[in-house]
């Protein structure tokens, strides 16, 4: 068991990016995943941690040019209760508010939820529905080098992202859905709290003249990464939200996910749950119309 | 080698005080609060943010202190449970928890109170739903959360709601203490974090023990190399089986403290270390190199019985160490007399006790070679006796002190290998050693509820009269034998005697495998048996076309009957329990809803995916111990000081269930002195008289009777002394509210204190009031045919569950449970409600979510993340009724109720699921996955289209 020899608390993004350029320093935000992994010996402790929570620029929710921009170190409880988010994107507030329990939500950050790259990351699916863009920073020749990517390019596999060494996820940005957008998200677990999702699903759609003109579908816990439902979206697009389309969309969703069997649930059951939850959302959208 | 870490300086504010300290960079806030500041009210429950026991406020936000690095707190404000009490006054939240009975073992309490504090700061008047959400991250294993939610609700209404207290001061003069709502005597300490659990006790120069577990299910030990561990600085003792005398122990005499030649399950203990710090001990254990030769693994009883199966214990070549056979009547005749017969196989899983406080022990030898153990055992006197043999020390040289226990539920009935291991480490190191499990070790290395496969066939006549039961049970014994192997003793009593049935036959095989093993757990084989039997009673009702309530009533016993197994039902409230619970649940109206599957339009033109149903199950259990040992008795010593202070020394142990308070009530009532005058000493074998232990729902009955007898003796002495002093007949006098009073007029004549002092310092004779009692119940040890009146009385009860089943996801949501229990007489209403509510929560977990999964001999889910206890948000509405049958042998008519409420829950819920869906679940837990699979299979069979 290694031991951490230094705890670093950079105050600015510049400090942080130069610190994490060092080989043996890892980024530390809420710590709610890292600490138990270290304690149980699932991951050896790093030599140094750089705690990002003291960097003011990485915290909070703001509106910039009509877009909502969320600092990566904003806690899940702050997101769940933020007035802007609750009003403009309630699905994100709900997903953040249903992670674990109050103690964890007060510490865990949205950036950590994403960088941890669990297929079950509850905030990822709503962000997929929103076409969120992730902003990253690293130490560059002239200070900070910035990069951005769509969320669907962020996840590589369980526990793995496309961030390069020394890169820090700084912000998540998205346009609030226009009025008239139906959006829903739900997760399935065997308890009503303290659950790591067995399956989660979200859908966002807009209709114009009886036809679906915009559709986003996302899934959690049913593939190596949180997943966008391209096939389910294609079924919805340009069609009315009819029972037949709902059936076809559910079938497409069940087809395009790749769930596994583990101690929490079997693959077939996860597929069932994606179908059941998605069907309910689409039927609610239909009755809301 | 652990690196030498430069400690970093940390300055922050704890409970309003600015402090500075030095911490290792990887130290958590939890560790620093406990180790650097002795703020031990913040508890370690899991170390991974899954239980909430370590909750504190960090800069006003509720956090798990196990998930915070101490260095993150530089400049921050931390508030712990110790910071809530100001000037010695309980905070109003602490007060509410005490008064509402929200505290049992108390281990979760500090975290629960901190979560409440945070909740009320953000929302001073939360609704019940908001309270449940606010406390969803805090697990409690004792209370079922109901009283915790009640406590918080009382505060939400401005804190003005008067708790229904029965303190002496608040009761009307002369009012009895029996049947009142009495807060637990130890609750204020538990609410404030003052209570010291095993991991809070530090002896001078104490070392820390750690065990190396085999982590493979079946293997020969070829070699153990401990040289690297022994060479490590800070290591003071390393032991393997070659360092100790290997004395077999356990019910099957097939376990030893450490294993020498072979390991038979993953949790087998192979070596152990004592070191200066827990970190060094853990690192040293990691450095021990064991060479194994793996053997074929037997993963199930079926495999163990197959031809050519590997032999696990050489002395048991057929892998079947125990059989049990029981019968009464003639089953073949019963079959011939039956108009309907049903048959099914029921599969019951492993349930983990999940005491919020993990297992632990401290062993300490004095210079004379006498051993003092701080042990969490539930059976201190048998423990001392049995341990003596294992460690090679005469029993009289062993003192067992029980610190406050963070939950028992049967888990501490056995001697577990870690206990003698700790003694051997202390002996070798010549210093005190403390060994406390991590949560992961607790899941991996403590036994579970006994998994069972029960094949049951039973029949009835057309009019509903039960005719026979034919039972075959297979128990997966795992690699070693703990008490789990004996649970058929109790299972068979339910099969023989829950309802009248003339012909019963039961055969049980207990089979070795290379799985983990099982021990005692609340209910002791009865939840398994009751699940099978009460499921089948419902199946019979369906076959007969009878109302399940009427079928049960028809076959219920009456008081005074003796069951064919020889159990004398001195009192029997079964019919009243059935009727009370059914009435409370609205049985008639709701069961008559047609069709049973109650589909209602939910959205648009689609049918609802939700079906509601109602189901019931009853229970039969011992109500005053089970005489399986030569004595089932309990001793009490009472002494009065010169001022009316009472010390009660009882052999019975407090494990959170509230026996201390019940005993104090019984004694205070008898002596007419305030409850506050009573101190109960119940945790030290040097002081307290013998008792067989906390199990078999015996403490209120047996320890209560023992205390009552000692108190009556003291009362007689007081009255005789007073009669002499006052020149009255003792019959004319009574003891009420601290005074000797004239019985006819209730007029106080003299204070009790004065009577005592008069006796002590009198001119003619000088005496103290000290009395003793040893109560041995009139039960008998069953004979070899298992016949006999094993308990002096029996407990009955009925639960009705109302559920909602989601037909598309398989989710079973329990809406309400109506529970009626024959408890003889309520002694402490607050306490007994807590026992029932907590039992129901454990029963719900057993039914719906809890399953310690084992595959290839390995445990798959050893954490609160994947072993799922009910949280606040899962608990249904509860409605409790107490049927008081006044058992003639019970103290004030009381019977035991500790185990009963857990027993029928799973069967009641499964019967409700059947009522809702027409699907019969025969395997626990009822996970959505399992329920949905059965729903789909049944729809397929009916030709209906499947959903989804």
Residues A188, A171 share a domain = no
Indicate yes or no: CB of A39 within 8 angstroms of CB of B853.
no
Mean pLDDT of B386-410: 97
Which of A129, A157, A176 corresponds to the end of one domain? A176
* Distance to chain B for A281, nearest Cα, Å: 11
Please check whether residues B253 and B223 belong to one and the same domain.
yes
Asked if B948 lies within 8 A of A279 by C-beta distance, the reply is: yes
Query: Out of B24, B25, B136, whose CB is closest to A194?
Result: B136
pLDDT at B603: 37
Q: Which residue of A has its CA nearest to B55?
A: A103
How far is residue B752's CA from residue B740's CA, in Å, rounded to a whole number? 6
Per the DSSP assignment, residues forming a β-bridge with B271 are: B212, B240
Q: Could you tell me the maximum CA-CA distance found in chain A, to the nearest angstrom?
A: 63
Torsion angle of C-alpha atoms B880, B882, B883, B887, degrees rounded to 10: 150
**Res. B906: pLDDT tops 50:** yes
pLDDT band at A43 (very low <50, low <70, confident <90, very high): confident
Task: Point out which residues pair with B649 in neighbouring strands.
Answer: B637, B681
In this structure, is residue B692 part of a structural domain? yes
The verdict on B146 and B39 lying in the same domain is no
Q: Which of B5, B870, B873 sits opposite A5 (nearest CB)?
A: B5
Q: CB distance from A5 to chain B under 8 Å?
A: yes
**CATH number, residue B47:** 3.10.20.30
One domain for residues B113 and B205: no
Query: Nearest C-alpha of chain A: how many angstroms from B67?
Result: 6
Query: Does the CB of A55 have a partner CB in chain B at under 8 Å?
Result: no
B114 shares its domain with B259: no
Among A144-148, B199-203, B597-601, the minimum mean pLDDT is found in: B597-601
Q: A188, B440: Cβ pair inside 8 Å?
A: no
Within a domain: B464: no
Q: Are residues B67 and B109 in the same domain?
A: no
pLDDT at B233: 97
Query: Are B240 and B179 part of one and the same domain?
Result: no
Cβ-nearest to B26 among A32, A45, A196? A45
Task: Chain B: give the shortest CA distance to residue A167, in Å.
Answer: 22
How does residue B939 score in pLDDT terms, banded at 50, 70 and 90? confident
Q: Decide if the complex's ipTM is over 0.95.
A: yes
Same domain (yes/no): B179, B52: no
* A73 and A188 part of one domain: no
Q: Measured between CB atoms, does B189 come within 8 Å of chain A? A: no
309-348 of B, contacting A, C-beta below 8 A: none
Q: B108 with B244, same domain? A: no
pLDDT of residue B2: 39
pLDDT(B416) > 70: yes
Chain A environment of B28 (Cβ under 8 Å) = 35
- Chain A positions touching B68 (Cβ under 8 A) are 31, 35, 107
Looking at A125, A153, A176, which one is the last position of a domain? A176
pLDDT at A226: 98
pLDDT at B553 over 80: yes
**Cα–Cα dist B813/B757, whole Å:** 62
Out of B26, B68, B848, closest to residue A4 by CB: B26
Domain assignment present for residue B688? The answer is yes
Assess whether A167 and A222 both reside in one domain. no
Q: What is the DSSP string of B134-149?
A: HTTT---SSSTTHHHH
> Which of A146, A176, A206 corresponds to the end of one domain?
A176
Find, in chain A, the residue whose alpha carbon is nearest to that of B874. A192
Residue B118 to residue A272, Cβ atoms within 8 A: no
B219 and B187 belong to one structural domain: no
Indicate the pLDDT class of residue B837, thresholds 50, 70 and 90.
very high
Query: In terms of domains, do A166 and A282 share one?
Result: no
CA triple B487-B492-B497, angle to 5 deg: 135
Work out the pLDDT band at B38, boundaries 50, 70, 90.
very high
Q: Could you tell me if B713 and B771 lie in one domain?
A: yes
Of B47, B68, B72, the CB nearest to A39: B47
B248-304 per-position pLDDT tens digit: 999 999 999 999 999 999 999 999 999 999 999 999 999 999 999 999 999 999 999
Question: Is a pLDDT exceeding 80 seen at residue B540?
Answer: yes
**Is a pLDDT exceeding 60 seen at residue B225?**
yes
Residue B947 binned pLDDT confidence (cut-offs 50, 70, 90): very low
Q: For residue B928, what is the nearest residue in chain A, using CA coordinates?
A: A190
Q: What is the pLDDT of residue B284?
A: 98
Per-residue pLDDT at A4: 82
Output the domain CATH number for residue B221: 3.90.1170.50
Question: How far is the C-alpha of B579 from the C-alpha of B820, rounded, in Å?
Answer: 9
Q: With 60 as the cut, is the pLDDT of residue B597 above it?
A: no
Chain B positions in Cβ-Cβ contact with residue A263 (cut-off 8 Å): 853, 860-861, 866
Chain A window 181-240: which residues touch B at a Cβ cutoff of 8 Å?
Answer: 188, 190-194, 196
Among A106, A191, A283, the residue with its CB nearest the CB of B868 is A191
- pLDDT, one tens digit per residue, over B112-133 is 999 999 999 999 999 999 999 9
Residue numbers in A near B134 (CB within 8 A): 102
- Is the bond preceding residue B262 a cis peptide, omega within 30 degrees? no
Note the pLDDT of residue B598: 43
Q: Do the Cβ atoms of B67 and A32 come within 8 Å?
A: yes
CB interface of B with A, residues 250-279, below 8 Å: 279
Same domain for A247 and A111: no
User: pLDDT tier at B516 (50, 70, 90 boundaries)?
Assistant: very high
141-160 of A, contacting B, C-beta below 8 A: none
Put simply, whether A53 touches B (Cβ < 8 Å) is yes
Chain A touched by B930 (CB under 8 Å):
no
In this complex, the residue of A31, A35, A269 whose CB is nearest that of residue B929 is: A269
Which residue of B67, B279, B870 to mutate against A (max A Cβ within 10 Å)?
A: B67
Give yes or no: residues A145 and A191 share one domain. Answer: no
Confidence of residue B172 (pLDDT cuts 50, 70, 90): low
Query: Per DSSP, which regions of chain A are E strands?
Result: 6-8, 25-28, 48-51, 61-64, 67-71, 133-140, 143-150, 155-157, 160-161, 168-174, 182-188, 199-208, 211-220, 227-228
The verdict on A128 and A224 lying in the same domain is no
Judge contact between B686 and B657, C-beta under 8 A.
Answer: no
Domain count, chain A: 2
> Given B54, B83, B112, which residue is the final one in a domain?
B83
A6, A49, A103, best to mutate vs chain B, most B CBs in 10 Å? A103
B623 pLDDT exceeds 80? yes
Helix (H) or strand (E) run with residue B509 in it = strand B503-512
Residue B767 near residue B759, CB atoms below 8 Å: yes
Find, in chain B, the residue whose alpha carbon is nearest to that of A103: B63
Residues B164 and B272 in one domain: no
- What is the pLDDT averaged over residues B328-357? 98
Asked whether the beta carbons of residue A102 and residue B928 sit closer than 8 angstroms, the reply is no
DSSP state of A94: H
Give the residue carrying structure tokens 């509405």. Answer: B877
Give B502's contacts (C-beta < 8 A, 6+ positions apart).
Answer: B328, B329, B334, B466, B467, B468, B564
From the CA of B890, how many Å to the nearest CA of chain A? 40
Angstrom CA distances, B497 to B52, B469, B555, B897, stand at: 42, 11, 11, 18
Report yes or no: B476 at the A interface, CB cutoff 8 Å: no
pLDDT of residue B779: 97
Same-domain status, A67 and A18: yes
| Residue A128 and residue A231 share a domain | no
Mean pLDDT of chain B: 95
Using the 3D structure, point to which of B708, B743, B775 is the last residue of a domain.
B775
Residue B886 lies in a domain: no
Radius of gyration of chain A (CA): 19
Calculate the alpha carbon distances from A182 to B129, B345, B672, B858 in Å: 27, 48, 70, 46
Q: Tell whether B621 is covered by a domain.
A: no
Query: Which of B68, B115, B137 is facing A194, going by the closest CB pair?
Result: B137
Contact A102 B134 (CB under 8 A): yes
B49: nearest CB among A103, A193, A287: A103
Residues A172 and A200 in one domain: no
A75 contacts B87 by C-beta, under 8 angstroms = no
Check whether residue A128 and residue A100 sit in a common domain.
yes
| B910: in domain | no
Residue B214 lies in a domain: yes
Does the beta carbon of B947 lie under 8 angstroms from any beta carbon of chain A?
yes
* pLDDT of amino acid B557: 98
Same domain, A31 and A169: yes
CA nearest to B930 within chain A: A269
Residue A174 distance to chain B (closest CA, Å): 28
Evaluate whether A49 touches A28 at the Cβ level (below 8 Å).
yes
Same domain, B102 and B224: no
Query: What is the pLDDT, as a whole number, of residue A142?
Result: 83
CATH number at residue A188: 3.30.390.50
Interface subset of A 16-35, CB within 8 angstroms of B: 28, 30-32, 35
- pLDDT for B166: 40
B752-811 confidence digits (pLDDT tens): 999 999 999 988 889 999 999 999 999 999 999 999 999 999 999 999 999 999 999 999
B126 Cβ under 8 Å from any chain A Cβ: no
Q: Of chain B residues 54-93, which have a CB less than 8 A from chain A?
A: 55, 61-64, 66-69, 71-72, 74
| Angle at alpha carbon of residue A207, lines to A206 and A210, rounded to 5° | 170
CB contact under 8 A, A102 and B72: no
Q: Do A283 and B927 touch (CB under 8 A)?
A: no
Chain A environment of B815 (Cβ under 8 Å)? none
Q: Which pairing describes strands B340-348 and B322-328: parallel, antiparallel, or unpaired?
A: unpaired
> Sign of dihedral through CA atoms A232, A235, A238, A244?
negative
> Containing domain of residue A260, as a range?
182-288
| Number of domains into which chain B is organized | 4
Domain coverage including residue B118? 92-195
Q: Is the pLDDT of residue B164 over 60?
A: no
Residue B25 has its nearest CB partner, among A5, A31, A279, at A5
Chain B residues within 8 A of A47 when measuring between CB atoms? none
Q: Which of B62, B866, B871 sits opposite A263 (nearest CB)?
A: B866
pLDDT (0 to 100) of residue B414: 95
Of the three residues B775, B794, B810, the one that is the final residue of a domain is B775
Beta strands B646-650; B634-640: pairing state: antiparallel
CATH number of residue A72's parent domain: 3.30.465.10
């Amino acid at each position: 068991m290694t031991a951490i020899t230094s705890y670093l608390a950079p105050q600015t993004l510049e400090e942080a990016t130069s610190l994490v350029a060092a080989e043996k320093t890892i980024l530390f935000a809420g710590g709610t995943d890292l600490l138990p992994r270290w304690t149980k010996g699932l991951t050896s402790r790093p030599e140094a941690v750089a705690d990002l929570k003291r960097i003011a620029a990485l915290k909070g929710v703001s509106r910039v040019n009509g877009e909502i921009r969320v600092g990566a170190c904003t806690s899940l409880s702050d997101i769940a209760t933020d007035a802007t988010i609750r009003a403009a994107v309630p699905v994100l507030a709900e997903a953040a508010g249903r992670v674990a329990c109050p103690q964890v939500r007060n510490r865990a950050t949205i950036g950590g939820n994403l960088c941890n790259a669990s297929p079950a990351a509850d905030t990822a699916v709503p962000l997929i529905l929103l076409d969120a863009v992730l902003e990253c920073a690293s130490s560059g020749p002239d200070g900070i080098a910035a990069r951005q990517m769509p969320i669907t390019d962020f996840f590589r596999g369980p526990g793995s992202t496309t961030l390069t060494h020394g890169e820090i996820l700084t912000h998540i940005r998205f346009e609030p859905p226009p009025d008239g957008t139906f959006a829903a998200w739900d997760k399935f677990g065997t308890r009503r709290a303290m659950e790591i999702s067995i399956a989660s699903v979200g859908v966002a759609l807009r209709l114009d003249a009886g036809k679906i003109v915009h559709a986003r579908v996302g899934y959690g816990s049913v593939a190596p990464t949180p997943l966008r439902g391209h096939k389910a979206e294609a079924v919805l697009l340009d069609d009315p939200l009819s029972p037949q389309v709902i059936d076809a969309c559910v079938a497409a969703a069940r087809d395009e996910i790749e769930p596994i069997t583990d101690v929490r649930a079997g693959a077939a059951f996860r597929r069932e749950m994606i179908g059941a939850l998605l069907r309910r959302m689409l039927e609610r959208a239909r009755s809301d119309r | 080698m652990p690196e030498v870490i430069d400690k970093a300086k940390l300055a922050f504010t704890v409970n309003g005080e600015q402090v500075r300290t030095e911490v290792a960079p990887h130290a958590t806030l939890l560790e620093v609060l406990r180790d650097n500041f002795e703020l031990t009210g913040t508890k370690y429950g899991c170390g991974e943010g899954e239980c909430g026991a370590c909750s504190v406020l960090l800069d006003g936000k509720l956090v798990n202190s196990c998930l915070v690095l101490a260095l993150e707190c530089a400049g921050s404000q931390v508030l712990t449970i110790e910071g809530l009490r100001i000037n010695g006054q309980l905070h109003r939240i602490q007060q509410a928890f005490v008064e509402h009975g929200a505290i049992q073992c108390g281990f979760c309490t500090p975290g629960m109170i901190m979560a409440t504090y945070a909740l009320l700061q953000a929302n001073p008047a939360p609704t019940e739903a908001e309270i449940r959400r606010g406390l969803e991250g805090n697990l409690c294993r004792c209370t079922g959360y109901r009283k915790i939610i009640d406590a918080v609700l009382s505060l939400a209404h401005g804190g003005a709601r008067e708790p229904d207290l029965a303190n002496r001061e608040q009761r009307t003069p002369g009012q009895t203490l029996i049947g009142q709502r009495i807060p637990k005597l130890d609750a204020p300490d538990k609410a404030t974090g003052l209570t010291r659990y095993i991991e809070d006790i530090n002896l001078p120069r104490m070392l820390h023990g750690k065990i190396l577990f085999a982590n493979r299910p079946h293997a020969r030990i070829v070699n153990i190399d401990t040289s690297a561990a022994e060479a490590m600085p800070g290591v003071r003792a390393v032991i393997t089986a070659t360092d100790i005398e290997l004395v077999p122990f356990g019910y099957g005499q097939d376990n030893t403290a450490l294993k020498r030649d072979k390991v038979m399950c993953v949790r087998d203990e192979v070596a152990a270390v004592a070191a200066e710090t827990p970190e060094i001990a853990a690192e040293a254990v990691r450095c021990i190199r064991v060479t194994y030769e793996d053997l074929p693994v037997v993963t199930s009883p079926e495999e163990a019985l197959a031809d050519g199966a590997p032999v696990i214990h050489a002395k048991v070549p057929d892998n079947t160490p125990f059989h049990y056979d029981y019968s009464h009547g003639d089953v073949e005749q019963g079959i011939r007399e039956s108009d309907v017969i049903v048959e099914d196989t029921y599969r019951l899983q492993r349930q983990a006790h999940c005491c919020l406080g993990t297992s632990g022990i401290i062993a300490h030898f004095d210079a004379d070679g006498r051993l003092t153990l701080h042990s969490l055992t539930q059976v201190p006197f048998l423990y001392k006796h049995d341990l003596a043999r294992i460690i090679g020390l005469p029993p009289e040289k062993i003192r067992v002190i029980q610190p406050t226990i963070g939950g028992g539920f049967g888990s501490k009935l056995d001697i577990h290998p870690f206990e003698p291991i700790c003694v051997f480490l202390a002996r070798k190191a010549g210093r005190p050693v403390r060994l406390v499990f991590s949560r992961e070790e607790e899941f991996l290395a403590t036994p579970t509820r006994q998994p069972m496969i029960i094949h049951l066939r039973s029949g009835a006549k057309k009019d509903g009269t039960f005719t026979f039961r034919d039972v075959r049970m297979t128990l997966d014994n795992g690699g070693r034998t703990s008490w789990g192997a004996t649970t058929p003793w109790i299972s068979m009593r339910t099969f023989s005697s829950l309802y009248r049935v003339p012909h019963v036959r039961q055969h049980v095989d207990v089979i070795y495998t290379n799985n983990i093993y099982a021990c005692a757990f609340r209910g002791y084989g009865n939840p398994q048996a009751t699940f099978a039997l009460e499921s089948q009673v419902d199946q019979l009702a369906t076959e007969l076309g009878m109302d399940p309530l009427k079928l049960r009533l028809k076959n219920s016993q009456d008081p005074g009957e003796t069951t064919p197994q020889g159990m004398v039902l001195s009192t029997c409230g079964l019919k009243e329990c059935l009727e009370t619970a059914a009435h409370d649940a609205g049985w008639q109206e709701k069961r008559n809803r047609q069709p049973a599957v109650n589909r209602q339009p939910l959205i648009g033109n689609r049918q609802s995916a939700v079906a509601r149903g109602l189901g019931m199950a009853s229970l039969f259990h011992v109500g005053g111990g089970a005489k399986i040992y030569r004595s089932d008795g309990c001793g009490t010593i009472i002494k009065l000081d010169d001022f009316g202070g009472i010390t009660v020394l009882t052999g019975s142990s407090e494990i959170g269930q509230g026996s201390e308070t019940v005993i104090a009530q019984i004694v205070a009532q008898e002596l007419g002195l305030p409850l506050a005058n009573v101190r109960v000493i119940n945790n030290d074998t040097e002081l307290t008289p013998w008792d067989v232990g906390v199990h078999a729902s015996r403490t209120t009955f047996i320890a209560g009777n023992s205390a009552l007898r000692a108190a009556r003796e003291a009362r007689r002495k007081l009255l005789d002394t007073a009669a002499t002093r006052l020149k009255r007949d003792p019959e004319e006098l009574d003891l009420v509210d601290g005074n000797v009073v004239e019985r006819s007029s209730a007029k106080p004549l003299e204070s009790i204190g004065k009577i005592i002092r008069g006796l002590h310092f009198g001119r003619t004779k000088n005496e103290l009031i000290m009395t003793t009692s040893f109560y041995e119940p009139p039960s008998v040890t069953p004979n070899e045919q298992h016949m006999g009146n094993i308990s002096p009385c029996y407990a009955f009860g009925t639960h009705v569950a109302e559920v909602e089943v989601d037909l598309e996801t398989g989710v079973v949501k329990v809406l309400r449970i109506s529970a009626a229990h024959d408890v003889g007489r309520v002694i402490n209403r607050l306490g007994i409600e807590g026992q029932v509510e907590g039992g129901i929560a454990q029963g719900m977990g057993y039914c719906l979510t809890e399953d310690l999964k084992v595959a290839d001999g390995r445990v798959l889910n050893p954490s609160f993340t994947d072993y799922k206890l009910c949280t606040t948000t899962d608990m249904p509405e509860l409605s409790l009724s107490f049927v008081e049958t006044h058992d003639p042998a019970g103290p004030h008519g009381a019977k035991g109720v500790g185990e009963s409420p857990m027993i029928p829950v799973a069967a009641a819920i499964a019967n409700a699921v059947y009522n809702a869906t027409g699907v019969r679940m025969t395997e626990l837990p009822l996970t959505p996955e399992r329920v949905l699979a059965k729903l789909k299979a049944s729809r397929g069979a009916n030709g209906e289209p499947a959903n989804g």
